[in-house]
Amino acid sequence: MPKMTKDGAFAGIDVGTTTTKAVVISADKEVLGRFVRRSGTDLELAAMEAFEEAVKQAGIAPKAIRHIMATGYGRKNVPFAHDTMTEISCHGRGCYHYFPEAITVVDIGGQDNKIIKLNAQGRRIGFKMNRKCAAGTGAFLEETAYKMGIPIGDLNDLAHATTETAQIGSYCTVFTATEVLDRIRAGERTDSIVRGLFDSVVKRILEMDTLTGRVIMTGGVVAFNDIVVELLSARAGVEVEVAPHPQEMGAFGAALFSVNGDQ
C-alpha cells in the first residue's frame, strides 16, 4: 500500500526534446523517486508516464503530491502541472542546492547546450545557449554514432581506449558526419575519431563562454559519458564536477521550485 509523507511531496517534470524526466521530493527536499523515458511525439503522455513512475518509485500515494512544476521545452504540454518554470532557472536552482556558492553550470542537452552562471547567493548573473545548431549536443552524438554504426552506449568506452584525439573541425552535424566518414576511409582509428567527437563537444562549450568559479556539469550526455568531464577539465584547466543525478537535474530544480510554489 502506498505510504503518505508527513508534509506531503512535490514533483518536477522536465520535458526535453529527447527525454522526459520526473523527480519527486519530500518537503525537506530529499529525492524520493525519479524516472526518465524518451519524449517521443506525445509529450503529454511522456510527462504523465514519467510522473506516475516517479511517484511509484517514491512509494507514496499520488494524492500526497501537493504541487507539480513543469519545465523544459515541452513544459506547456503538461496540463496536470500547477505551474511552469524555464529550464534555465531549474538547472541553476537544482545545482545550487548541492553547491551553494558561486558556480558555472554547464548543461549538455539533447538539442542545445547551456552555460548558466550563478553568484554566491544563487542569483543568475549570466547565461548563454547554443541555439544555432545541434552540433555539440546529445543529438549530435547520437546521429554521428548512427552514421558510424556504433551503439551510442559504446562511445564512452571507445573514447577512453585511446589518448589520440582526431581533430574534428566541422561546426555542423551534417558536415561532421561527412568528415567522420572521410576519416574512416582514410584509415584513422575508430577510437581516435570517437574521442575527437567528444572533444568537439567540449570545444563548442568553451566557444560559448568562459568558465568561472566552481564548474558543475549536468545533462544526459554527462550522465553516461564521463569522458566529456575529463576533456573539459583538461581544456579549461579547471576541475569540472558532475552534479548528483545529472540527467534529472532540471526536473529536480523544478521540484525545488514546486516546494516554494505550494507555499
Taking residue 39's Cβ as centre, other Cβ atoms within 10 Å add up to: 23
For residue 1, what pLDDT is reported? Answer: 40
Let me know whether 125 and 193 are in one domain: yes
* Full residue range of the structural domain in which residue 200 is found: 101-242
50 and 171 assigned to the same domain: no
Residue 219 and residue 176 share a domain: yes
Q: Are residues 209 and 227 in the same domain?
A: yes
Give yes or no: residues 80 and 137 share one domain. Answer: no
| Same domain flag for 121 and 235 | yes
| pLDDT tens digits for range 168-192 | 765 565 666 677 777 777 778 889 9
What's the structural domain count of the chain? 2
The reply to whether the predicted model has a pTM over 0.85 is yes
**Grid coordinates representing 194?**
570517437
Whether residue 194 is found in the same domain as residue 142 = yes
Between residues 1 and 231, which one has the greater pLDDT? 231
Shared domain for 224 and 131, answered yes or no, is yes
CA angle 84, 95, 119 (to 5 degrees): 100
**Which CATH number fits the domain that encloses residue 34?**
3.30.420.40
Question: 208-233 in b/e burial notation, b at 16+ Cβ within 10 A?
Answer: ebebeebbbbbbbbbbbbebbbebbb
Tens digit of pLDDT for each residue in 98-144? 999 999 999 988 778 899 999 999 999 999 987 655 556 777 788 88
